[in-house]
Amino acid sequence: MSKIRVLVWNENYHEQVSEAIAAIYPRGIHTTIAEGLSTDPDLTVSTATMDMEEFGLSEEALAQTDVLIVWAHHRHGELPDEIATRVQQRVLDGMGFLVLHSAHLCKPFVRLMGTVCRSRWRENDEKERLWVIEQGHPIAEGLPAYLEFEEEETYGERFDIPTPDELVFISWFSGGEVFRSGCCFYRGKGKIFYFRPGHEAYPTYYREDVRRILINAVKWARPINGPAHAFGHHPVPLENIRIQDHSDEIHPTL
Ligand code: ZN
């Protein structure tokens, strides 16, 4: 199997404007995520930020990406619609898409979901207990029954997404909320995984178990070389059937 090409993309805002956040992720949250992924010999990992040319998401960059990982929070509105369309189309064409934490409101994800994607939230250093509820799922490989984060941002239902095709994790928070924290979606030929933990104020992406989850998710979301699309009218039948002649019928134009 050839190596999976991963691009870790970050809006790169909080690390630049907050000394406290920069102290946790001095070289940017994308660098820490990439370092975790780079421990796996099956992956080739690169990084990009919103401050680069074409917002770090050029046609060339995406063409060389098998799985795109996005962390974003504050700058969703700055991403041009044209670039959001480009990412959306690449996912439909088969690129894997991992959407982390507050990136649930990034334009490409919201479009691919077709819903508002908002949730309840509270920054209060509460404990999170993340349960693995689909224990045979590839993203759960090697994990214990649950993970605990002593301090994380609280998210709560309702999380306004379509019902996930596969739900791998559910979180509980010490304030009482619950949240669908590991959600898989199939869109076109592409696979999408949303993973909730990873607020910028906590060192979540240094954890070995979180790194394990992201590596598992990249491998699950990698493009599959399945059959090409076969859309359109009047395909040649595979069986020997009589073809009816409808040429006399009048079809209303739409
Ligand atoms: Zn957050």
Instruction: Using the mean position of ligand 1's atoms as its centre, give its distance from the Cα of residue 122 in Å.
Output: 9
pLDDT at 242: 87
pLDDT at 237: 85
3-state SS, residue 105: helix
Instruction: Using the mean position of ligand 1's atoms as its centre, give its distance from the Cα of residue 249 in Å.
Output: 58
Element (H, E) at 111: helix 107-113
Instruction: Using the mean position of ligand 1's atoms as its centre, give its distance from the Cα of residue 66 in Å.
Output: 26
How far apart, in whole angstroms, are the C-alpha atoms of residue 25 and residue 113? Answer: 30
HSE value, Cβ hemisphere, 13 Å, CA-based, for 185: 26
pLDDT at 253: 60
The CA radius of gyration of the chain, in Å to the nearest whole number, is: 21
Instruction: Using the mean position of ligand 1's atoms as its centre, give its distance from the Cα of residue 238 in Å.
Output: 53
Residue 3 has a CB neighbour count (10 Å cut-off) of 12
How far apart, in whole angstroms, are the C-alpha atoms of residue 72 and residue 110? Answer: 13
Instruction: Using the mean position of ligand 1's atoms as its centre, give its distance from the Cα of residue 25 in Å.
Output: 14
Residue 166 has a CB neighbour count (10 Å cut-off) of 16
pLDDT at 37: 98
Residues with CB under 5 A from ligand 1 (ion): 102, 153, 199
Instruction: Using the mean position of ligand 1's atoms as its centre, give its distance from the Cα of residue 154 in Å.
Output: 8
Q: What is the DSSP letter of 28?
A: -
- 55-84 exposure pattern, b = at least 16 Cβ within 10 A, e = fewer: bbbeeebbeebbbbbbbbbeebeebeeebb
Instruction: Using the mean position of ligand 1's atoms as its centre, give its distance from the Cα of residue 199 in Å.
Output: 4
Instruction: Using the mean position of ligand 1's atoms as its centre, give its distance from the Cα of residue 220 in Å.
Output: 25
Beta strands, E only, the chain? 4-10, 43-49, 67-71, 96-100, 120-132, 146-156, 166-173, 178-187, 190-195
Instruction: Using the mean position of ligand 1's atoms as its centre, give its distance from the Cα of residue 196 in Å.
Output: 9
User: 190 and 95 in contact (C-beta within 8 Å)?
Assistant: yes
In sign, the C-alpha dihedral spanning 133, 204, 45, 96 is positive
Instruction: Using the mean position of ligand 1's atoms as its centre, give its distance from the Cα of residue 190 in Å.
Output: 26
Residue 116 has a CB neighbour count (10 Å cut-off) of 11
pLDDT at 205: 98
| Mean pLDDT of successive 10-residue stretches along the chain, which has 254 residues | 95 97 98 98 98 98 98 98 98 98 98 98 98 98 98 98 98 98 98 98 98 98 87 82 77 60
